[in-house]
Structures are given as structure tokens and as C-alpha cells.
Chains A and B, each alone.
Chain A
Amino acid sequence: MANDNFFKITELFPVGICVIDGTNRIAFWNRLISEWTGKTSDEVSGKILCEVFPHLSGSSFEERIKEIFTGAPPAIFSSQLHGAIIPTYLPSGEPRIQTTTVLPLRIEDEIYAVIVVEDCTELKREVTAYRRMKDSAILALNDKINAEKEVVRANEESNLYLGIMSHDLKNTNAIIMSYALKMAEFDNPEVVNYAKKIMMASTGINDIIRNVSVVRKMSHESQGLRPFPLKMVIKDAARNFEGLKYEIIGDDVRIFCDDLISELFVNIFSNCVNHAGIASKIHITIGEKNDKGYVRVSVADEGPGISEERKADIFAKFTKKVREESGDEGTGLYIVKVLMTRYNGNVSIEDAYPDAIRKGLKICLDFKTA
């Protein structure tokens, strides 16, 4: 071939190169393709391509290579759609995966087809591994999304049943309460005593229903905290208890909370009434705003107080152990704790009267102020 020197530069390229002339005879065979095929330049030069590689005879490769000589643009044979035009091998003997490009080259009046063989074995391995990894990640993500959807659906279903159950229990409980009220009008002291016990139990059932409803609401995302006037909140909560005696000491303040704030005070007052009785008085003190913008609100009752052992788990979730040890259903102060956390605040307990002469429990609430 007249342009041997021209083609020698391709010895430096990291691709296999074979040049054929218009009669399909091999005119150039670079060093790399010699290494990859195991066929030397001397072996193949001057031979017809299809004689050296018989699988090309009559193939679509041959057809498309012929087009190059009629002036068609370069043709690409990708590794995904084709096997090798010129089979090449790795040192291990495995076939190389390759992309082949056939380009027309005009030298003087002659057209040549330059067959460029690019090894993409490693690329294919990497891409295949990447695809496998990505597909399994997508599968895992889809599983997670489906599981989350199932949780949402199950929650909606359980909320529906809880809603129906709460509604029906409230109605039934209202009937029990109305009969108990009628019984309380009897002249028989024993019947009146039983009626009062039934009324207390009925009130307890209502508390449980309300608290379950609050716990459900707490499980939803807060719609955001906003300022509420504290004294108004306390007064609204106190209206749930007929005849509740309480005093508020200190100036009003606006605290950051949400619509569940009323439930927080209802639960605290309920705790006071349960342990100190409706006839006792609740002492509410609003402290001064501290330099971090928090205000301490303490609610003290006149009940029997609480033992040192129970102080540790008074805010614990309503477990069987808590119910058995405390004697009540245990949801109220747990709700208080969760709501204070939701309001970026804090709750703690103290003895209402540290001198130990009088007893009582003091619940201390630290609210962020507006």
C-alpha cells in the first residue's frame, strides 16, 4: 500500500485497525489487531476480508461495509447489537466485546474502508454491574414505597374503626351516665353510692375515649405552632370539669402551641381531680419569661402527692406495668409529655409543698413564648 507510512501512526492508537481496499483485500493491519486476533500482518495482508473471516461472507456486515465504498457515511456496529466483525480475544482466551466503526477514506482516487475495533469488554462489565445495582436499588425503593403506602392505608383503616368505635362507645356511655344520674336521685343511700361509682367509671371511659382520640391526632404532623394566650387556654380546658376550683397567679403570656393545647391542660386537670377530688383547688402559677424566651407554668394539686419511686415513670407510656402500678389507665400524663415535646418545651414534676407538711403534686411546664 502506497501510504504505509501514513498508516504507521495508527500503531500508536489503543484500537485495532484494519484497512481494506475497494476489492475487499486487506491493505493494512495494525499491531494491536495482530495481538488481539493472533494473526500477523504478513498472514492477512492482500487477502480478501471474507476469506480471513468467513463468517462475514453474505452477512449484514459485508452489506454495510460495501456501502462505505459507494459513498455512505461511517457505519457503527455496537456491542449490544452485534458480535465481532473481526473476532478478537483477551489473553485468557475469552472473546473481547467490541464496538466497530467502519469509515470511508479517500486517498487520491481510491476509496478504502477503515475498520476500527474498540475493546469495550471492561466497559460492558462495569455498565452491566451498574445496571444490576441500580435495578436492585430501584426494586428496593419500590418495595419501601409500597410498604409505606400499606402503612398509610392500614393507619387510615384503623383510624376509621377507632372513630366508629369511639363514637358508638360515647353514645352507649351517655346512656349509662343518664341511668346513673337517675339512680343518684333515689332515696336509697346504697343505690346512690353505686350510682356515683357508675358515674365515676363512666367519666373514666370518656377520658379513655378522648385520650385515644388525642393520641391519634398526635400521630399526625403538626400543622405548625402558633401563639395562643395561656390564660384563655387554661380557662377553656377548665370548662370540661363542672365545679372545678382553680386559681391563676401571674401575668398572661402567649405560648407557642397548636390546637391540641387544650387536651394538655384537660389531662393535667383530670389527673388533679382523680387524685385530689373535685372539691380541692388547683393552683396555677405563671412565672416570668426567662432569657431563652421560655416561661414556666406550674400546676399544683392538693392530692396525696407521689412517691419517689413513681416519679421516674410518671410520664411513661400506658404500659400494662404502669397501669398495674399506678392504678389508673396512665394515658393522661404520657400525652402531656408528648405534647410538650411537640411544642419544643419540657415537663417535669415536683412536690407541691417541699416542706412535707402538706402534700400535693406540682407539674411544671416550660413553654416557648411568642
Chain B
Amino acid sequence: MKVEMTAEAAEKAKEILNICMKRPEHVLGIISSGVSIKVAGVNIYTVKEIVESPKKEFEESSATIGLSFTGDLAGIIAVSFPMESAAKLVMAISGENAGTPELDRLRIATLREVGGIVISGIMGSIGNVLDSHMDYTVPSYEKGSIASLLNLGDRMMDSLVLIANVSFTLHDLNVESNILMVLEEEQLKLLLDKIKGILS
């Protein structure tokens, strides 16, 4: 049975993720002052639900930075931006004030750094919660819809995806994005139980 998330749990998860964003805000703030990262909501889906969903946010072309991790917890974590927003965010952080918002190889490298910083903030906190060591791959860039990126074969269809809607704000720019964490059901239960234990 799919792990259900109560409204209260979703609110708690949002709160925790917003705390996790403090570190990335600080690191990005050293590079470009005024960066704000806010988590607006959290949901749980199965991979199958996302792959088959008609929702625009899962279908539109995205720039995604992700890595996989193994250890006490194993799965995939990624930050996904709409293509043009990704380029605009990179340009704003790097102080480029003119030019076409297009993700070329230099900007992709910058986006990998930005995505990596956000992921590091979350995984650092999870590592602390679980008090365990995990191994990571290097953050990589993928282009495509969230649905297509998660379509990793039948074996993965029942895995769960925790999706957090995140907004990056920098000066006048506001970029909506999604943080995705793909885990086996048991692994997600383990994580949620640990979090519940800390909160109680």
C-alpha cells in the first residue's frame, strides 16, 4: 500500500525542508546576495502516477540536476527547473545582466553547482537524521520532462517520489522548481519514521 501523507505530515515535511534550505541559501548567498529558497508544499506519488500523469509540470521540458545515493538509504534525488527559468536563475546568480536565457554548457555547469548545493543541504540533513554514511554519484544534468526522466523501467514503477514545490527568489526573479526524491516504499517509511521520532 502506498505511503499516504497526512496534511499534518506534509506540513511537517515542508517545515523540515525549509530548514534544510537554510544552508543552500547561505552558500548561494555568498555568491549572490539575496537568494531565498522556500518550500511551498510536499506530496508523495508513485513513479507510475507521475509517468502517467497529464499534469503540465510533469510533462514540460525541464533542466534537472540529480544524483543517486546508496547506503542506509538508497535512491535518487534531483532538482528540476523549467528550461527557460533554469537559464534565468543561473544568469541572475552569476550576475549576467544581458543576453538570451539559454542553457549552454557553461550555464549547465553552473546549474549543476546550484542544484548540487540544494541537494547537499537536504542530504546533509538526512545524513544527520539517519546518523549514517551514504555514498553519492556526482550531480549530473538531464534534459527532459520529469515524467520521462523517471520512466526508468517497470521495476521502478512502484517506487515512491516525494516531490517538494520550491521557489527560488533573487531580486525580481522568482523561479518555481521541484525537488524530487525517489525511494523504495520501505526506505521512505524508514525516513519518515526517523523524522517523526525527532519531532515527537
Q: Which residues of A does B touch, CB under 8 Å?
A: 60, 64, 67, 70-82, 99, 101, 103-104, 106, 120, 123-124, 127, 130-131, 134-135, 138
Interface residues of B in 90-116 (CB under 8 A from A): 90, 93-94, 96, 98-100, 102, 104-107, 109-110, 112-113, 116
User: In the bound complex, do residue A78 and residue B69 qualify as a contact, i.e. CB atoms below 8 Å apart?
Assistant: no
Chain B residues lying within 8 Å of A80, measured Cβ to Cβ, are 90, 94, 96, 106-107, 109-110
- The one of B98, B104, B116, B124 that contacts A130, using a Cβ cutoff of 8 Å: B104
B123 proximal to A (CB < 8 A): yes
User: In the bound complex, do residue B113 and residue A76 qualify as a contact, i.e. CB atoms below 8 Å apart?
Assistant: yes
User: In the bound complex, do residue B124 and residue A72 qualify as a contact, i.e. CB atoms below 8 Å apart?
Assistant: yes
Per-residue CB contact flags for chain B residues 67-104 toward chain A (1 = under 8 Å, else 0) read 10100000000000000000000100110101110101
Q: Report Cα–Cα, A27/B105, bound state, in Å.
A: 32
Looking at the assembled complex, report how far the CB atom of B110 sits from the nearest CB atom of chain A, in whole angstroms. 4
User: In the bound complex, do residue A74 and residue B136 qualify as a contact, i.e. CB atoms below 8 Å apart?
Assistant: yes
Q: Report Cα–Cα, A76/B116, bound state, in Å.
A: 7
Looking at the assembled complex, report how far the CB atom of A15 sits from the nearest CB atom of chain B, in whole angstroms. 12
User: In the bound complex, do residue A120 and residue B109 qualify as a contact, i.e. CB atoms below 8 Å apart?
Assistant: yes
User: In the bound complex, do residue A131 and residue B100 qualify as a contact, i.e. CB atoms below 8 Å apart?
Assistant: yes
Chain B residues lying within 8 Å of A131, measured Cβ to Cβ, are 99-100, 104
User: In the bound complex, do residue B98 and residue A135 qualify as a contact, i.e. CB atoms below 8 Å apart?
Assistant: yes
Looking at the assembled complex, report how far the CB atom of B195 sits from the nearest CB atom of chain A, in whole angstroms. 18
Q: Which residues of B does A touch, CB under 8 Å?
A: 27, 30-31, 67, 69, 90, 93-94, 96, 98-100, 102, 104-107, 109-110, 112-113, 116-117, 119-120, 123-124, 127, 133-139
Tell whether A81 pairs with B119 under 8 Å between CB atoms, given A130-B104, A131-B99, A138-B100.
no
Q: Report Cα–Cα, A86/B186, bound state, in Å.
A: 43
New contact pairs (9) apart from A60-B27, A80-B90, CB-CB < 8 Å: A71-B127, A73-B67, A74-B116, A74-B137, A75-B116, A79-B109, A81-B93, A82-B31, A103-B138
Q: List 22 A-B contacts (CB under 8 A).
A: A67-B120, A70-B124, A71-B124, A72-B120, A72-B123, A73-B136, A74-B137, A74-B138, A76-B116, A78-B110, A79-B109, A80-B96, A80-B109, A81-B110, A99-B109, A101-B138, A104-B136, A106-B133, A123-B106, A134-B100, A135-B98, A135-B99
Q: Report Cα–Cα, A81/B110, bound state, in Å.
A: 7
Q: Report Cα–Cα, A138/B99, bound state, in Å.
A: 9
User: In the bound complex, do residue A76 and residue B112 qualify as a contact, i.e. CB atoms below 8 Å apart?
Assistant: yes
User: In the bound complex, do residue A64 and residue B139 qualify as a contact, i.e. CB atoms below 8 Å apart?
Assistant: no
User: In the bound complex, do residue A74 and residue B139 qualify as a contact, i.e. CB atoms below 8 Å apart?
Assistant: yes
- The one of A60, A70, A82, A127 that contacts B105, using a Cβ cutoff of 8 Å: A127
Chain B residues lying within 8 Å of A120, measured Cβ to Cβ, are 106, 109
Tell whether A81 pairs with B31 under 8 Å between CB atoms, given A73-B69, A75-B120, A76-B113.
yes
